[in-house]
Amino acid sequence: MTGHRAISCFVTGTDTGVGKTLVSTALLHALARHHKRVVGMKPVAAGTTQVHGNEVNDDVLALRAASTLAVPAALDNPVLLPDAVSPHVAAARAGRSIDLDHIVACHRQLLRLADAVVVEGAGGFLVPLSASESGADLAQALDFPVVLVVGLRLGCLNHALLTLEAIRARGLSLAGWVANHVDPAMLAQDDNISFLQQHLNAPLLARIAWQRVPDARTITMELPLAWR
């Protein structure tokens, strides 16, 4: 398509279990209100269950359900690993290696097919993908803006600021961040959010209230103007 330039972002978190999939699916729903063809991508997924005899990953299934464009599994999830452990360990246990060039090539194909691609990273920003490469290397290779999911719990300020430093060290821009209330008992949540608003120097795209059963469709996501 002449002049076609798809939107894309890389979703990372202050830690594992902070709601990256929830935010990624909410981003897909928000983008779908402005763009016809939106698709999620989970380059590396570790941990599978069997559904109808097939090995599947729950995060990948959630991204596909929130996408408006169906693509081959080899494109939206090029690396599927059985064990729910750090990707470099899961790959070693499966006798596989994680090839960043191949992932970038898959992402490039998605950019040609879609209007918007939301890429969900694995774990935190510096999660190891091999003995020498990390999720940060993948984000740098893709070279699109980053969305940071901050899991609001004790220690999140340090984790958020460290992750911001790592993002900047890779020459990447922070498109925005999301505050996810993962610990309903956390004290001074508003104070923590105010501090992060002052120090992350990026727009707060959403503040997600704690939900016993999270539902991405209930989240109000303020997309950056360039993505609308």
From 20, 25, 40, 42, active-site residue: 42
- Cα separation of 204 and 6, whole Å? 23
Residue 203 token pair: 């727009």
How would DSSP label each residue in 140-208?
Answer: HHHT--EEEEEE-STTHHHHHHHHHHHHHHTT--EEEEEEE---TT-S-HHHHHHHHHHHS-S-EEEEE
Distance CA(78)–CA(204), nearest Å, equals 31
Question: Could you tell me if 148 and 200 are in contact, meaning their C-beta atoms sit under 8 angstroms apart?
Answer: yes
For the chain, report the end-to-end CA distance as a whole number of angstroms: 19
CA distance 101 to 104: 5
DSSP state of 217: G
Q: How many residues does the chain have?
A: 228
Q: Identify whether 42 is a catalytic site residue.
A: yes
For 71, the enclosing helix (H) or strand (E) is none
User: Which residues are annotated as catalytic?
Assistant: 42
